[in-house]
Amino acid sequence: MNKYLYSALLALVSLIVSQTGAGAANPPTVKIRVAQYAKSLEFVMPEGGQWSSGQNKGTLARGKTFRLEGHMTAPALRKYHLMTGSAAINKPEILAEVENRFKQYKTHRFVAGHKPEPGYPDNRIVFVGVGIFDDETKAKEAQDKLAAEAISSWIFHENIKPAQGTVAVYLGKKKLFASKEGIELIPATSTTLKKAEFARGFSWHGFENRHFSGKLFIGWGFENSLDCVEQTDLEKLIIGIVPSEISAKAPDSALQAQAVAARGEMLSKRGTRHFNEGFDFCSEQHCQVYKGLQSVDQKIAGCIKNTRGLILENHEGGILDAVYSANCGGHSSANHQIWVSNPDKHLQGVCDLKTPVKMDLTDHKQAEEFIRKPSEAWCSMTGVEGADKFRWEKTLNEADWKKVEEAAGVGRISSISEFVREVSGRIISIKISGSAGEKTVLRELAIRKLFGMLRSSNFIVEWQHDKEGWIVGASFIGAGWGHGVGMCQTGAQSMGKAGYSFDKILLHYFPGAQLKKLY
């Protein structure tokens, strides 16, 4: 770690201590998986530290590069549940309604989450499933059969037993110790994980050294790789999440809105994401993007300190799952149409045009007009990071299309039809017809992935055909980046630039919610 970052870290710790004060409520402790490695990694503690494993412990010299080698002896054990619905644990009437919709199947229940700590609402979720499989491939086959009947579902991983194996730490060629229990690293100031992988499966995928101030546990996980899990308190984590999720150069009110939204999303999902996996969240797009310590942390900490403990409360007195995406494209989405979830009145989509107009983007003609000739929106303002994703184009050539055919699994594709759009214009259902059969693809993310990870599923498209009528390519024009539910991060920055306070930004994207201080 360079001297600037180290100085920033010390200043940050001092600032957090001054924020807390005597008698202040403490934020919850959380665990976040910050990196994964196939079987080996290197780490450095700039100021040294300690290690522990079971009853054993020792010291690690400052500035030295240590190598951790793992040897897996048995893979992880999981079961795969095909889920078709869910309800909060305190909503038995909704649970009964979900089960009644699928009474033609043999349904089962699975409770995800943990009993709440004092002062926090119960956020446990009861999932309703229609099948349990030992093999994920079989679960996906069953999922495809449901999709053919226009039934949305998802595959839930029940974590039974993590991968088994040993880890050994070396300094050069010298083995310092080995363990079957994993290892905990306790840095004096920070730990640097070298060549940590990020954004796997995305165009910005890469590797970089990342720095963490909390305790790190490294051991075999449920994806048959070495998990690196940081333990820290939520407020320190939020400081790292904000500049990882939104531009650090954003106006203060946009950074504050991001802090409140991230805190609420994490607290609403804590215990239900990565259930029984040994951590609360991952540091990728699946949960929250988090890069560890950054040079801007001190600035961010000072900017968002007035939001400490603040969340958005929903109309039922619970913590609102304040989700967000990069650019809504001019209209945000409805949660239950994007995901397999129950409608949330605060997440039903809002018009993000600077001068709102009435429009029905579920209608294909209106959606096409909206995409081709958009009015000025908060998320289209030039000079704001992310505004270039307001509208986009992408072309798939013949080589690209071969990958689409492989993913679709219906042979050569003759037509793609029966598009269904939701309130933002995003496409949530398509039918693919090919030489080997037909397939229905449901939900926006699956559709984006099918076509090579489009920026969003809000698009219009022209197909290219060969002389025999088979599709061999495509040209897309699209709107927005991401799922579109909740806060538009580009729009939030533009609103902040226009002088809106963080509460006004939040209530624009989450209408009907209220700010509440938890601690």
For residue range 238-291, list pLDDT tens digits in order.
999 999 999 999 999 999 999 999 999 999 999 899 999 999 999 998 899 999
For residue range 446-493, list pLDDT tens digits in order.
999 999 999 999 999 999 999 999 999 999 999 999 999 999 999 999
pTM over 0.75: yes
Q: Which two tokens stand for residue 315?
A: 């109309």
- Percent above pLDDT 70 for the chain: 95
Question: What DSSP designation does 49 have?
Answer: E
Residue 10 pLDDT = 39
Q: Which two tokens stand for residue 300?
A: 């961010």
**Buried-state track 121-133, b at ≥16 Cβ within 10 A, e below 16:** bebbbbbbbbbeb
Answer whether residue 14 shows pLDDT above 80.
Answer: no
Task: Please state the rounded mean pLDDT for residues 157-177.
Answer: 96
**Domain range list for the chain:** 27-74+163-311, 77-161, 324-485
For residue range 365-385, list pLDDT tens digits in order.
999 999 999 999 999 999 999
For residue range 313-360, list pLDDT tens digits in order.
999 989 999 999 999 999 999 999 999 999 999 999 999 999 999 999
Helix (H, G, I), strand (E, B), or coil: what is residue 388? Answer: helix
Q: Cβ distance 223 to 29 under 8 Å? A: no
* Dist CA 29 CA 509 (whole Å): 28
Residue 118 pLDDT = 79
Q: pLDDT class for 202, splitting at 50, 70, 90?
A: confident
**CATH architecture of the region 77-161:** 2-Layer Sandwich (3.30)
Strand blocks (E) in 239-371: 281-282, 310-313, 324-325
Helix (H, G, I), strand (E, B), or coil: what is residue 394? Answer: strand
* Dist CA 15 CA 37 (whole Å): 33
Answer whether residue 128 shows pLDDT above 60.
Answer: yes
Q: Cβ distance 503 to 495 under 8 Å? A: no
Average pLDDT over the chain, rounded to an integer: 93
Residue 1 pLDDT = 47
Backbone angles phi, psi at 90, to 5 degrees: -95, 20
**Nearest Cα to 290, choosing from 5, 29, 34, 31?**
34
**Nearest Cα to 219, choosing from 178, 262, 266, 158?**
178
- How far is CA 93 from its chain centroid? 29
Answer whether residue 9 shows pLDDT above 70.
Answer: no
Helix (H, G, I), strand (E, B), or coil: what is residue 387? Answer: helix
Answer whether residue 16 shows pLDDT above 50.
Answer: no
Answer whether residue 18 shows pLDDT above 90.
Answer: no
Q: Dihedral through CA 405, CA 409, CA 411, CA 416, nearest 10?
A: -60
Length of the chain: 519
Q: pLDDT class for 25, splitting at 50, 70, 90?
A: low
